[in-house]
Structure 1
Amino acid sequence: MVEIAGVAQLVRADNQIVAARTQQLSKVYGTGDAQVIALDTVSVELFAHEFTAIMGPSGSGKSTLMHCAAGLDAVSDGRVFIGETELTSLKEKELTALRRDKIGFIFQAFNLIPTLTAKENILLPLSIAGRKPDPAWFDQVVETVGLSERLGHRPSELSGGQMQRVACARALVSRPEIIFADEPTGNLDSRASREVLDFLRRSVAEFGQTIVMVTHDPVAASYTDRVLFLADGRVVDEMREPTAERVLERMAGLDSAKGV
């Protein structure tokens, strides 16, 4: 066990630090004949300072896994940890504080406040937490994401790619333990997608950030270090050093198994 930024972290025998993990995680929606098993006893480790993609056919449970791992959705059974803090044992107030202070989020829909400027949107989580930004870190993040000339603009004055880069900067500026990104390029064209993925890749390589991304896009997955493949609510495979071609081939096999 080691402690990073005041948070106890699990270290495996191969010296990989576990940023988040699930143990026998299950998520069930509905009851009786309407019951749907979204996650079926999933145990997985997500490693620090890595970019991990979660992929699978529609209905495989990939978004549900991310939402449960991030503390956004309650679990039906099993345990979820960020570092060595068990989310499933926290009260709602404690969980809210942990999400605010230790976790960053990037969503497909950007989730920016339309009346705030780009700068105000980036700093919003810190403002809510009553924390002051580190000016040098803020400048570095803004410069890296390429928004130095757009900080005074509101979301309606920004392109889709620029809005998502604001969302990325907002997730990063508070120095979270881990960032969860749910289809962050889903609403972007190919050029804007590359810009956002390049930034996420750089934030891992240069800042040591930990990112977990749900995506359906093999090209997006090729930017990551590791891909986890889900099918029918279970992790069925993983891939290191993915390429778009290898990911596409593996996804095709999963779709074929579902009869798609």
Structure 2
Amino acid sequence: MTATVVRAPQAAARANDVWKVYGSGEAQVIALRGVSAEFESGRFTAIMGPSGSGKSTLMHCLAGLDSVTRGEAWVGDTRITGLGDSGLTNLRRDKIGFIFQQFNLLPTLTAKENILLPLSIAGRKPDPAWYDIVIRTVGLADRLGHRPNQLSGGQQQRVACARALVSRPEVIFADEPTGNLDSRSGAEVLGFLRNSVREHGQTIIMVTHDPVAASYADRVVFLADGQIVSELIEPTPETVLDTMKKLDSLTEAAN
């Protein structure tokens, strides 16, 4: 009888004992203190924590937008730490998608042109079948010829989501993607992100301060003072809020 080997899900991104220090002497700020974490492929993970906890810094280090002071950051099987400018450019072009609070759309381009811009810059053509799936999923088929100023905030963010997805990256990093949206538009964008994970196997790592937004994720990782201090699996707005209240109390007590 042959034994079955069960392999753990591959980590889409991971941090190994990551430290991030800004400044020196009395002005020194330690943003991350030996953070080690794995973010599984095909899952939606939220990163939360009080203001100044290091959540955005961790995401920026994982995405290659900021360097680490000590330790290692990986995307898939690519070690980000130590990569030169050309290596980082190739990594962001081929393996990473980004969604930011500011939609970062070019005002002179149509929605379709904005969605396809990263592929155009890379000299690549979209996979027609996947492009159709992305457009149908974000519900933008009748808005592709519109420029950003002709779209609502929610529609602009869905364009940004489609732009991040269309190249089928290994991982999408989303930094407060609903921060500039009303609750209805935010729910539409979050629902789309969750569906892209569940139906199409996308991997998303999202920084947010909103317990409702975090509840769309499969897992929530909590930071405080530059360290991972807790996590939730299958979170609800209530369990996220309770955890955040406890962290806020601990932070206030420490100060």
Q: Once the two structures are superposed, what CA deviation does each residue of 1:157-204 show, in whole Å capped at 9, x if it has no partner?
A: 100000000000000000000000000000000000000000000000
Where in structure 2 are the equivalents of 1:16-31 lying within 5 Å?
A: 16-31=9-24
Residue in 2 that maps onto 1:82: 75
How far, CA to CA, are the matches of 2:77 and 2:126 in structure 1?
26
Superposed displacement of residue 134, structure 1:
1.1
Structure 1 residue matching 2:213: 3-state secondary structure: helix
Report the more deviating stretch, 164-173 or 89-98: 89-98
Report the more deviating stretch, 83-92 or 229-238: 83-92
Superposed displacement of residue 14, structure 1:
5.4
State yes or no: 1:69 paired with 2:62: yes
| Cα RMSD after superposing both structures | 1.1
Q: For this pair of structures, how many residues does the alignment match? A: 249
Report the more deviating stretch, 81-90 or 141-150: 81-90
Q: Could you tell me which amino acid in structure 2 is paired with residue 124 of structure 1? A: L
Where in structure 2 are the equivalents of 1:118-157 lying within 5 Å?
A: 118-157=111-150
Superposed displacement of residue 13, structure 1:
6.2
User: TM-score if structure 1 supplies the norm length?
Assistant: 0.94
Residue in 2 that maps onto 1:182: 175
Residue in 2 that maps onto 1:38: 31
State yes or no: 1:50 paired with 2:50: no
Superposed displacement of residue 23, structure 1:
0.5
Structure 2 residue matching 1:195: 3-state secondary structure: helix
Q: Once the two structures are superposed, what CA deviation does each residue of 1:13-50 show, in whole Å capped at 9, x if it has no partner?
A: 65222111011101111110000000011000000000
How far, CA to CA, are the matches of 2:57 and 2:144 in structure 1?
33
State, as a whole percentage, how many aligned pairs show the same letter.
69
How far, CA to CA, are the matches of 1:174 and 1:231 in structure 2?
34
User: TM-score if structure 2 supplies the norm length?
Assistant: 0.96
Gaps of 5+ in 1: 1-11
Residue in 1 that maps onto 2:233: 240
How far, CA to CA, are the matches of 1:76 and 1:204 in structure 2?
32
Superposed displacement of residue 140, structure 1:
1.1
Q: Could you tell me which amino acid in structure 2 is paired with residue 54 of structure 1? A: I
How far, CA to CA, are the matches of 2:7 and 2:49 in structure 1?
28
Structure 2 residue matching 1:259: 3-state secondary structure: helix
Runs of 4+, deviation exceeding 4 Å: none
Q: Could you tell me which amino acid in structure 2 is paired with residue 205 of structure 1? A: R
Gaps of 5+ in 2: none
